[in-house]
Chain A
Amino acid sequence: MIRHECLELLAGKITDQLVVTSQSGQRIEWSYLSRHEGNLLVGMMGCAVGIGTGLALALPHRKVIVLDSDGSVLLSLFNLATLGNLRPKNLIVFVFDNGVYSGSRISYPTATAGNTDLEAIARGAGIEKTLTIRDIETFKRKALGALKQNELAFFVCKVKESLMHREIPRPNTDLAENKYTFVRYLERSEGKPIRFIGRG
């Protein structure tokens, strides 16, 4: 299983969900596969789960999806303890775990290539619905099936390292442009102004 095929399947299921990506190959692949205005392409590691949690708490009626990586989740493991206690029902976290720091271009192993089990950490942190997925059929059945459920879910998707994100166009929207597109989409779809935009 590679990340791109998972994302391609997920992209076909997106309607009005909000999708937050961390900085890694999936940010590039997701922006290529999905032009949804509810995509927030966060350009830094270790921040997507936190931002997704804040969105899920602020908008409890909207489904929020976080696309993250093993390296990024390892950078902010405290998120799992917080999530395990808050348990926002409208949040799903997908961790595409390739076991390497692929973005470093030398692909040295992350802790998950060794003894570290993110599913076990998440469960121990208090997240009840957590699963390690190793094949595309299980991804279709379990991970995509969770989109229809109202429960915090944390899926560790074990994927082979793929360099497809280096072969497709990188997103050409800068961070601020993406943020405003996202916020304007929220204003329209929620029918209320986002407070900090204000008027000049």
Chain B
Amino acid sequence: MEDQLARRLVQGLKDAGINFVTYLPETRLSQIIPLIQDDPAMELIPTASEQEAVTIAAGATLGGKQAAVYMENTGIYVSSYSLLTVGKQLGVPILLVAGYLGGVPDQRNSFLYATIGSHTIPTLNGLGIEYMVLEEGERLEERIKDAVRAANALRGPFALLFAGEFSV
């Protein structure tokens, strides 16, 4: 991902009200981590598992923050239990910012990732989690705002899957 796109992504999160980000880093979007870390308006929390990235973000949301979880799409599998129980059952808005490894538009797709990618959207559908796939920077900021608004309205997780020029 070009640096300019990473900066727009982070600014877009901030403009959408995100002020608390839990994460487990991955390869496609990792440039956003130092940018978030350097921004005093956003709290960045490292975690050891996407399962707890979701539960910590949920706790922060209940405490008044607007939280996002940054993860690889494999983290959706790891955290599916907490996404279902805390996210959906308890009803807590959480924005998922996920690198879409192995998805068709993933520019670095290979035999290592394709199986992982092909199950991501069926898994989100199975969990009842709405999502958008972002492949280019056009209207990026508006789409992030749309996603946060949707998560809050739904009282649940909403996933942004990043591929295309975000995965270069």
Residues of B within 8 A of A51 (CB): 55-56, 58-59, 62, 86
Residues of B within 8 A of A156 (CB): none
Within 8 A of B (CB), among A149-200: 175-176, 179, 182-183, 186, 190, 192-196, 198
Q: Report the nearest A residue to B89, measured CB to CB.
A: A175
Give Cα A50 to B153, complex, Å: 23
Q: A196 to B61, Cβ gap below 8 A? A: yes
Contact mask for chain A residues 36-52; partner B; CB cutoff 8 A; 1 contact, 0 none: 00001011101101111
Q: Report the nearest A residue to B56, measured CB to CB.
A: A54
Cβ of B41 < 8 Å from any Cβ of A? no
Q: B48 to A82, Cβ gap below 8 A? A: yes
Q: Report the nearest A residue to B57, measured CB to CB.
A: A54
Residues of B within 8 A of A33 (CB): none
Say how far A78's CB is from chain B's closest CB, in angstroms.
4
Categorize the interface residue count of chain B.
35 or more
Q: B86 to A59, Cβ gap below 8 A? A: no
Q: Which of A20, A49, A57, A193 contacts B60 (CB 8 A)?
A: A57
Q: B54 to A50, Cβ gap below 8 A? A: yes
**Chain A interface SS verdict (over half):** helix
**Chain B interface SS verdict (over half):** helix
Q: Which of B45, B49, B90, B151 contacts A57 (CB 8 A)?
A: B45
Cβ of A106 < 8 Å from any Cβ of B? no
Q: A54 to B63, Cβ gap below 8 A? A: yes
Q: Report the nearest A residue to B49, measured CB to CB.
A: A78
Q: A42 to B90, Cβ gap below 8 A? A: yes
Residues of A within 8 A of B155 (CB): 196
Q: A50 to B60, Cβ gap below 8 A? A: no
Residues of A within 8 A of B63 (CB): 54-55, 57-59, 186, 194
Q: Report the nearest A residue to B149, measured CB to CB.
A: A198
Q: A58-B64, A82-B47, A194-B64 are in contact. Are A50 and B59 (CB under 8 A)?
A: yes
Say how far A130's CB is from chain B's closest CB, in angstroms.
18
Q: Report the nearest A residue to B151, measured CB to CB.
A: A196
Q: A78 to B60, Cβ gap below 8 A? A: no
Q: B46 to A47, Cβ gap below 8 A? A: no
In the assembled complex, 27 residue pairs joining A and B whose CB atoms fall closer than 8 Å, in A order, are A42-B90, A44-B81, A44-B86, A47-B86, A50-B82, A53-B55, A54-B22, A54-B58, A55-B60, A55-B62, A57-B45, A57-B56, A57-B63, A58-B59, A58-B62, A58-B63, A58-B64, A58-B65, A78-B51, A179-B62, A179-B91, A186-B63, A195-B65, A196-B92, A196-B152, A198-B152, A198-B153
- Contacts A44-B85, A196-B61 given; 19 further ones with Cβ under 8 A? A42-B90, A43-B90, A50-B55, A54-B22, A54-B60, A54-B62, A58-B59, A58-B61, A78-B47, A78-B48, A78-B49, A78-B52, A175-B90, A190-B64, A194-B64, A195-B17, A195-B65, A195-B66, A196-B93
Kindly list the 4 A-B residue pairs having the minimum CB-CB distance in the complex, ordered from nearest.
A54-B59, A50-B55, A58-B63, A78-B48
